[in-house]
């Protein structure tokens, strides 16, 4: 008999979580640019390229004159430009400008001055904004107005709805393969979670998760195969799992630099950046991207404390700049996907704490964020009918009972 039923005898009570909030309320439309000054020269040139017009420049320069000796800025200075809606036109205007200068001796980047737009439409000297870690490359972060990341949103929503942390971890892990969880949520994004009613021990079983981000919805349904293995599959019968994780650091890190040719921040020459830089606080756990065997766990010139893993099918993954390599990482040791192999640091040629993560296929570097990765597992054809039945049951449960349905925003 083919049983393989994820639902029988469970789903008595249902709780669904999901909903939206308006763009207005969420304060969309603000964005922050972080720009590095590349040539010695007037501040004006850089600002005119980054959202200022002559009039706003003159106003801001007039304000800054009180604290800066000159409006010429050195190479390596950083600008943070917060753009937001104008009250009088449809355009975005600078709401805040902060200038940071590198310390000539230590190279450390220090806040020098901030000018901020007031309600009356003029600029005054402002406080330094909340600290950030400066990216190696210029960035623009859209919708900075305190909108949380997808990762944070899932956690906060789950906590609000008394979903236990183990289940939330599982949900986050399932989506982490395919979705950039560090992205900010947008208006209309939502999550739906279906669980069984608590049993005598207070245990609940997760049956379904649907995550809607923008126009795409990812759905995962619980299903048990004949060997007793319980897993989550999309409607096509595939697990969300991948053979390798693309951002193998707790929380996913902040993408500070992509794969490809760039001007190296230290050597100033154009060279291939062989991986991605995922910025995270020093000490953040780094995970094995996939099941494999330790090939190297040692200091490597440039990479600092470095771990390299060998996987099947000619794949290798490398992890650089660690503050510490985890215990037990010796060549030949087996690791499982998700196992902690080290901690984020800034050893070797590095300008700040981040994980340099690279993937090689048959000895050649590939872009970790876009390389095609084999799916880990899909449901075999013998389960087609039973799995379809499960999907129908879940959808029915979600629509049938209005009473136990809870609705909440993903934020
Ligand atoms: Zn790197």
Domain identity same for 53 and 202: no
pLDDT: is 307 or 175 the higher one? 307
Q: 231 with 254, same domain?
A: no
Indicate whether 16 belongs to any domain. Answer: no
In this predicted structure, the answer to whether residue 386 has a pLDDT above a threshold of 90 is: yes
Lowest mean pLDDT among 51-55, 250-254, 345-349, 373-377: 373-377
Instruction: Verify that 196 and 217 share a domain, yes or no.
Output: yes
Of the candidates 322, 326, 297, 293, the one whose C-alpha atom is nearest the C-alpha of residue 310 is 293
pLDDT per residue as tens digits for the range 209-232: 888 888 888 899 999 999 888 888
Ligand 1 geometric centre to CA of 289 (Å): 16
- 357 alpha carbon to ligand 1 midpoint, in Å? 7
Q: Residue 20 domain-assigned? A: no
- pLDDT value of residue 3: 29
270 CA to centre of ligand 1 in angstroms: 14
373 within a domain of the structure (yes/no): no
Mean pLDDT of 250-276: 82
Q: What is the pLDDT of residue 24?
A: 29
Pair 111, 159 in one domain? no
**270 or 308: which leads in pLDDT:** 308
Average pLDDT over every residue of 153-178: 78
pLDDT for 71 beyond 90: no
**Is residue 229 domain-shared with residue 289, that is, in the same domain?**
no
Query: Cα(201) to centroid of ligand 1, in Å?
Result: 47
Q: What is the pLDDT of residue 146?
A: 53
pLDDT (0 to 100) of residue 8: 31
355 with 256, same domain: the answer is: yes
Domain that holds residue 268: 250-366
* Count: domains in the chain: 3
Q: Which of 59-73, 131-145, 190-204 bottoms out in mean pLDDT, i.e. has the lowest? A: 131-145
**Of the segments 21-35, 81-95, 320-334, which one has the largest average pLDDT value?**
320-334
The pLDDT of residue 143 is above 80: no
Cβ atoms within 10 Å of 17's Cβ, excluding its own = 24
We report the CATH number of the domain holding residue 326 as 2.70.70.10
pLDDT bracket for residue 90 (50, 70, 90): low
Q: What is the pLDDT of residue 376?
A: 66
Query: What pTM did the predictor assign?
Result: 0.49
> Does 6 map to a domain?
no
Question: How far away, in angstroms, is 321 Cα from ligand 1 center?
Answer: 9
pLDDT above 80 for 135? no
Look at the block and give the residue holding tokens 């308006």: 22
Residues 41 and 110 in one domain: yes
User: Do residue 64 and residue 84 come from a single domain?
Assistant: yes
Ligand 1 center to residue 354 CA distance, Å? 8
- State residue 283's pLDDT score: 95
- Report how far ligand 1's centroid is from the alpha carbon of 148 (Å): 26
pLDDT at 89: 65
CATH code, domain with 120: 3.10.450
């Amino acid at each position: 008999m083919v049983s393989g039923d994820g639902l029988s005898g469970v789903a008595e009570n249902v709780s669904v979580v999901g909903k939206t909030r308006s763009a207005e309320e969420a304060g969309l439309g603000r964005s922050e640019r972080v720009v590095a000054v590349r040539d010695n020269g007037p501040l004006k040139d850089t600002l005119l390229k980054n959202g200022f017009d002559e009039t706003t420049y003159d106003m801001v320069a007039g304000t800054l004159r009180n604290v800066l000796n000159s409006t010429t800025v050195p190479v390596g200075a950083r600008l943070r430009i917060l753009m937001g809606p104008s009250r009088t036109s449809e355009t975005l205007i600078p709401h805040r400008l902060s200038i940071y200068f590198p310390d000539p001796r230590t190279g450390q980047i220090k806040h020098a001055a901030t000018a901020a737009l007031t309600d009356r439409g003029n600029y005054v000297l402002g406080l330094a904004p909340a600290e950030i870690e400066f990216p190696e490359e210029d960035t623009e972060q859209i919708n900075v107005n305190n909108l949380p990341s997808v990762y944070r949103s899932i956690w906060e929503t789950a906590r609000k709805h008394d979903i236990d942390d183990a289940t939330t971890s599982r949900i986050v892990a399932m989506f982490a393969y395919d979705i950039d969880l560090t992205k900010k949520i947008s208006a209309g994004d939502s999550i739906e979670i279906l669980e069984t009613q608590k049993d005598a021990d207070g245990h609940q079983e997760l049956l379904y998760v649907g995550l809607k981000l923008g126009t795409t919805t990812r759905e995962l349904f619980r299903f048990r195969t004949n060997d007793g293995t319980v897993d989550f599959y999309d409607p096509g019968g595939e697990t969300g799992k991948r053979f390798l994780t693309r951002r193998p650091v707790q929380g996913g890190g902040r993408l500070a630099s992509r794969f490809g040719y760039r001007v190296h921040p230290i050597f100033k020459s154009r060279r291939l950046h062989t991986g991605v830089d995922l910025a995270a606080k020093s000490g953040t756990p780094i995970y094995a991207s996939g099941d494999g065997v330790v090939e190297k766990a040692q200091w490597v010139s440039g990479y600092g404390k470095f771990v390299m893993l060998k996987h099947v099918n000619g794949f290798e993954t490398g992890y650089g700049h660690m503050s510490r390599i985890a215990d037990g990482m010796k060549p030949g040791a087996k690791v499982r996907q998700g196992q902690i192999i080290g901690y984020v640091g800034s050893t070797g040629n590095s300008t700040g704490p981040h994980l340099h993560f690279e993937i090689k296929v048959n000895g050649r570097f590939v872009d970790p964020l876009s390389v095609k990765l084999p799916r880990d597992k899909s449901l075999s054809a013998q389960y087609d009918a039973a799995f379809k039945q499960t999907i129908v049951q879940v959808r029915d449960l979600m629509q049938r009972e209005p009473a136990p349905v809870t609705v909440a925003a993903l934020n």
